[in-house]
Amino acid sequence: MKRGDPMKRLFLALVVSFGLAVSAVAADGRAVSYKSGDETVNGVLYMPAGKGPFPALIVIHEWWGLNDWVKQQAEKLAGQGYVALAVDLYRGKVADNADMAHELMRGLPEDRATRDLRAAYDYLAGQGNVKKDRIGSIGWCMGGGYALDTALAEPQLAATVINYGRLATETSELKKIKAPILGLFGGQDRGITPEDVKKFQSAMEKLGKKVEVKIYGEAGHAFENPNNKQGYRAEDAADAWQRTVDFLAATLKK
């Protein structure tokens, strides 16, 4: 079939939907909490089937907050064999419109979020069924930027997946990264532009860091989320998911 064939797009959309259905059987989520400084952070922990120890992932939400879609992603990742902790950076708040999402994101102190995510790493590392040297981070939109921030803040992190998140380009910052990076971006994204992505990739490569980048030429921001009615691209989303699965298997399951 040619790229863009309607039947192919339908097939890929069904693949994504089927993946969600399978993961619902593969993992169960339970509410958990952990300490971050003097505060308590809540989240949902999804466990793989079978016996551990397992690799693990810190799953970081978009600017909307810890909503059902992000929980579904964590559930899917648990279905792939990872202990997945979906962290609530907004302390229980979830946006249902863009104005509220923008307000919540702007009101989130970056230092607190980074502290919460480092504490999430410690929480996972303290679990008896987690491989302590195989913990990674993954996020979308705002969470994609914080997935990278987690790699900057936690030198023991073993892998990071950035889905159209903001990028650091300062050499002094990027030097801190030990984890291999997978970045997935939209070529039509007006926030994180292809030029930003290429600058990040070039800086990482000059430092000898492990980085893999894919720019989907016709996609905009948040193209992986079907709730983005105008921007969702089923074929690109399916490809991004497969790249994520392959990357995490190579970095966290080796």
| pLDDT of 15 strictly over 70 | no
Contact 44, 123 (CB under 8 A): no
| pLDDT of 24 strictly over 80 | no
Average pLDDT of span 178-195: 98
Give the confidence band of 254 by pLDDT, cuts at 50, 70, 90.
confident
Average pLDDT of span 57-61: 98
Q: Compute the distance between CA of residue 4 and CA of residue 2 in angstroms, rounded to an integer.
A: 6
- Within-domain flag for 1: no
- Within-domain flag for 91: yes
- Within-domain flag for 186: yes
Q: Please identify which residue in the block is written with the tokens 């399978």.
A: 22
- Within-domain flag for 51: yes
Mean pLDDT of the chain: 91
Give the confidence band of 11 by pLDDT, cuts at 50, 70, 90.
very low
Q: Compute the distance between CA of residue 173 and CA of residue 14 in angstroms, rounded to an integer.
A: 40
Sheet of 28-36, strand order: 28-36, 39-47, 83-87, 54-60, 130-140, 159-163, 181-186, 211-216
Give the confidence band of 27 by pLDDT, cuts at 50, 70, 90.
low
131-186 pLDDT tens trace: 999 999 999 999 999 999 999 999 999 999 999 999 999 999 999 999 999 999 99
Distance of alpha carbon 253 from its chain centroid, rounded?
17
Average pLDDT of span 45-73: 97
Q: Compute the distance between CA of residue 177 and CA of residue 175 in angstroms, rounded to an integer.
A: 6
Average pLDDT of span 216-220: 98
0.75 surpassed by pTM: yes
pLDDT at 92: 97
pLDDT at 9: 40
- Within-domain flag for 18: yes
Give the confidence band of 129 by pLDDT, cuts at 50, 70, 90.
very high
Give the DSSP letter of residue 103: H
Structure tokens, 159: 């892998």
| pLDDT of 4 strictly over 70 | no
Structure tokens, 50: 């079978």
Pairing of strands 159-163, 181-186: parallel
- Within-domain flag for 88: yes
Q: Please identify which residue in the block is written with the tokens 């950035």.
A: 162
Q: Could you list the residue range(s) of the whole structural domain that residue 113 is in?
A: 6-252
Question: What total of structural domains would you count in the chain?
Answer: 1
Long-range contacts of range 192-199, CB-CB < 8 Å, 24 or more positions apart?
192/164, 192/165, 192/166, 192/167, 192/221, 196/167, 196/169, 197/167, 199/167, 199/169
Structure tokens, 196: 């930003």
CATH at 145: 3.40.50.1820
- Within-domain flag for 130: yes
- Identify the residue with better confidence: 28 or 203: 203
| pLDDT of 23 strictly over 60 | no
Q: Compute the distance between CA of residue 143 and CA of residue 160 in angstroms, rounded to an integer.
A: 11
